[in-house]
Amino acid sequence: MVLRFSARSGVAAIGFFVLCTSIAVPARADNPPYNIKDGKVDIHVYNGYRRYGDSCMRCHGPDGAGSSYAPDLTNSLKHLSEDQVKETIINGRQNLANGQDKVMPSFGTVADVVNYLDDIYAYLKARSDGKLPRGRPERYDDN
């Protein structure tokens, strides 16, 4: 009887613990690399948007939404880590399997890209998280 009681309270304790961590973990993970206030973006996201337009859009399409040649990055960033995204940008990637001839160029020596990896990531992450609609964003810190 005593044993059963403590087993049950043990389960309750574990349940409580799981409940707490499941609340706490998303809160900790919820630390986005972008700031958006009233639909307006910080200077980093804005810069990322511009760099994306200069270096990535011709393959990945407007707003990161993908093209017939290169993947939809708003989708890719849902399953790739920040490190994986940056690694792919720096080293590029070739997909020559199954008769494919798709090439993601390496941007490791392109200063306009490697110096702003955080900004490009922030922009794409905001798009991927559904926090930023398509099109040219407005900046909130206009200075």
Contacts to ligand HEC by CB under 6 A: 55-56, 58-60, 69-71, 73, 76, 80, 85, 88-89, 93, 95, 102-105, 107, 113, 120
Q: Residue 56 CB: number of other CB atoms within 10 A?
A: 20
User: Closest approach of Cβ 69 to ligand HEC, in Å?
Assistant: 6
What the block records as the tokens of 103 is 């090439």
User: Closest approach of Cβ 22 to ligand HEC, in Å?
Assistant: 28
Nearer to ligand HEC, 102 or 136 (CB): 102
Between CA 134 and CA 110 the distance in angstroms is 26
Nearer to ligand HEC, 56 or 132 (CB): 56
How would you label 60-79 residue by residue, b for 16+ Cβ within 10 Å and e otherwise? bbebbebeeebbbbbebbee
User: Closest approach of Cβ 44 to ligand HEC, in Å?
Assistant: 15
Nearer to ligand HEC, 3 or 111 (CB): 111
DSSP secondary structure of 17-32: HHHHHHHHHHHHH---
User: Closest approach of Cβ 129 to ligand HEC, in Å?
Assistant: 15
